Amino acid sequence: MNKKIVVITGSPRKNGNSLTMTKAFIKVAADKGHCVTVFDATQLNIGGCQACETCFKRGKACSFDDDFNSIAPAILEADIIIYTMPVYWYSIPAKIKAVIDKTFPFGMDDENVAGKGCGLIFCCADDDISVMDGVRIPIERTAALLKWHMIGEVLIPGVQNPGEIEKTDGCEQAIALAERI
């Protein structure tokens, strides 16, 4: 059965390592007949959550008029959400973190999104894989809170400069993730 997949990217480098893996994932997922919608958080105007708790009460996901309101309907309709990014200072890059923070209303009773799949594709410059915990753990916990199940994670350490991902099996792992869907 074909799935609706939302891919949310968080790398400003268009030829960067995380986007290279993401492109490999998207190609295989689309070739398998899945409907893939991509949102580039780095190019969107998304402010941080203001904790106003007026989500969905004014006719849109976020009461503040920003681009999250274009992502929210896609997340609601998606079967699977894939987050892709590089590690920035041991954590999630700010632009994609704003998107993740604004998924808050999806855990509320009236906008429940339980049962979706969630995947993660990311890399970091450091060779120490524990550096990736600052991205992996918050995403896994967010998924658990929203009652999403993790469908897979591609975590590639030791890549800094564009193209270094080609010296790893990162693209192959991203392809394998798409093939499992």
**48-70 confidence digits (pLDDT tens):** 888 888 888 878 888 888 999 99
Range of the domain at 64: 4-180
Question: Which of the two residues, 111 and 146, has the higher pLDDT score?
Answer: 146
Q: Please tell me the predicted confidence (pLDDT) of residue 56.
A: 82
Q: Report residue 60 CA to chain centroid gap.
A: 21
Domain count of the chain? Answer: 1
Q: Domain containing 64 — which CATH number?
A: 3.40.50.360
- List pLDDT tens digits, range 2-12: 999 999 999 98
Give the pLDDT confidence score for residue 151 in this predicted structure.
97
Whether the predicted pLDDT of 126 surpasses 60: yes
The per-residue b/e assignment along 133-172, b for 16 or more CB within 10 angstroms, e otherwise, is eebbeebbebbeebebeebbbbbbbbbeeeebbeebebbe
